[in-house]
Structure 1
Amino acid sequence: MIDIKQIFNKIPGWVYTLVIVGFLYLTGLHTQIIGQVQRLVLATGLLKPKVPELSEATPTTQADGANKPTATLPVYPVADYNFTLRTLAGETVTMESLKGKVIFMNLWATWCPPCIAEMPSIQNLYEKVKSDKIAFVMVSLDEDPAKAQKFIQRLGFTFPVYTPDGYMPAQFGSGSVIPTTYVISPDGHVVVQKDGMAQYDTQEFRDFLTFLAQKAI
């Protein structure tokens, strides 16, 4: 009589490990698991986007004629709006149409664990600063838009998701590091570029977006 238990006991431990890892990769669950682990890292608050320091040194003339300091930003690269995106419903949106607003643009993909890790914080940020003066542009780099749509719906995210409609400017389209997040000011400058995951739902970052929104058209 064959002793099944004895047979399993003779199988090396690395074989079990290989089978489990192989199963996770074949099912795509490894991305979710790694993302969950990285989310714990974000929860420490150590990975935050660097927010530009606002200068109070520039005086402006108020309505009463007095000169008072107003927060201003240093000079940053001019954003290239010359590209087009598509919504998951297939509608075309030009970046030019968002000019004059604060743009929070995030490049991500469903196969990217750190992208998945930071998404809950982006969703929370979206809900807390939601405004017609702040545009969230979550750009999926998945080859199949349906995959991104299924992922977003399954996790209940409500921020706007787009896919590139062809050409992406080199300024944004290198794709060498994802996630990558940009914040574009209403006057058309890239004031934040964060390569890699970060915790965006912080008071400092919310205040920064709110400040920029005050200058929106």
Structure 2
Amino acid sequence: MNAITENIKKIPGWIITGIVIGALYLTGLHTEVIGQLQRIILATGFIKPTIEEINENTSPSGNTAPTLVADYNFNLLSLNGEQTSLESLKGKVIFLNFWATWCPPCIAEMPNIQSLYEKVNSDKIAFVMVSLDQDPTKAQKFIQKKGFTFPVYTHNGSLPISYETQVIPTTFIISPEGQIVTRKDGMADYDNQEFREFLQRLTQPGKI
């Protein structure tokens, strides 16, 4: 045993690191590990969504742009196979999030989205978590494993131009009036008092 231990000590650190990383990738655990590390970063509270509303004079990049109108012609399929669309949620504040099981930042932010959902979900605020996994069963198994209860869907058809993004996770907040009032590319800690109050404020008529 001592001889084995001594031989292991002689192996360069970079080789051991490579073996560990390779093992994580082969077992598919790298996504979970990286996601957990990024969750620690989120726990610092430094990465929060911008709640300055987009209006007729601003855009996500800060450039002058027309009002961003939500596209409700977005067909969805629940993990149970039920067909629906964003149209059925018209008139509500919609928390629309695009994610995937292979995306570490998505995994990192999901626990605080679940916490937010438990605190603000109502008949005025709807959560639409859209999985971009090619195999819906992967999303279903992941959600069940984690015990998340927010509504999860896959997109049934093409993705509307309004929600096209080069980054995931990406989250859109849609007002009851049908405007995309804010957008966040990348992970964020949504379960904070400022953001909860922001969502609640949007449910009140004439607040945008």
> Which residue is equivalent to 1:79?
70
**Aligned-pair RMSD on alpha carbons?**
1.8
Of residues 176-185 and 34-43 in structure 1, the stretch that sits farther from structure 2 once superposed is: 34-43
Closer, same or farther in 2 for the Cα pair 1:50/1:5, shift >3 Å?
closer
What is the TM-score with the length of structure 1 in the denominator?
Answer: 0.83
> CA deviation digits over 1:11-53, x for unaligned, max 9?
3332221111011011121111111111111111111111126
Find the residue that maps to 1:193 and give its secondary structure: strand
Q: Distance in 1 between matches of 2:103 and 2:180?
A: 24
Q: Which has the higher strand share?
A: 1
Aligned-pair distance for 1:9? 4.3
Aligned counterpart for 1:135 among listed residues 119, 126, 133: 126
The percentage of counterpart residues that share the same residue type is: 64
**Letter of the structure 1 residue corresponding to residue 8 of structure 2:** F
Find the residue that maps to 1:122 and give its secondary structure: helix
Q: What residue ranges of structure 2 are gaps of 5+ in the alignment?
A: 55-65
Aligned counterpart for 1:113 among listed residues 104, 119, 122: 104
> Which residue is equivalent to 1:186?
176
Aligned-pair distance for 1:196? 0.5
Aligned-pair distance for 1:120? 0.9
1:205 maps to 2:195:
yes
> Which residue is equivalent to 1:166?
157
Closer, same or farther in 2 for the Cα pair 1:147/1:53, shift >3 Å?
closer
Q: Indicate conservation of the 8 Å contact 2:114/2:148, yes or no.
A: yes
Q: Give the length in aligned residue pairs.
A: 193
Q: Distance in 1 between matches of 2:124 and 2:9?
A: 63
Closer, same or farther in 2 for the Cα pair 1:153/1:133, shift >3 Å?
same
Q: Distance in 2 between matches of 1:43 and 1:12?
A: 34
User: Rg larger in 1 or in 2?
Assistant: 1
What is the TM-score with the length of structure 2 in the denominator?
Answer: 0.87
